[in-house]
Structure 1
Amino acid sequence: MTRAFTASLSLVFIVALVGFDLATSDLNPYQAPAAFALGSGAVASGGFCGALPN
């Protein structure tokens, strides 16, 4: 196996994975959480960051 074959195989796998994710996900940008909520007063919810003590 050569590097070109391995790289091509990796790229095909990544493209297939992204395609599968997009095909099976329900994307609604109006219900998505803000990527950056600096100064908006919105607090983190869920995940490790939301479990910090007050």
Structure 2
Amino acid sequence: FHRITNTNLRNQFYAELDRHTPQLFALYRQKASHTGKVSEVLRDILRIYDRE
């Protein structure tokens, strides 16, 4: 892929993931509040993310 497009696909993916992470977390929180179910592991991850 890199030879054809001269784009580092891995770096592009991580850059876009960083750009969309806040929106994805907001969506997750919204869905979790509607269902009342929050995984403990994801809750811990979101707490760590909020501290940063």
TM-score normalised by structure 2 residue count? 0.31
Structure with bigger helix share is: 2
Larger RCO (CA under 8 A, 6+ residues apart): 2
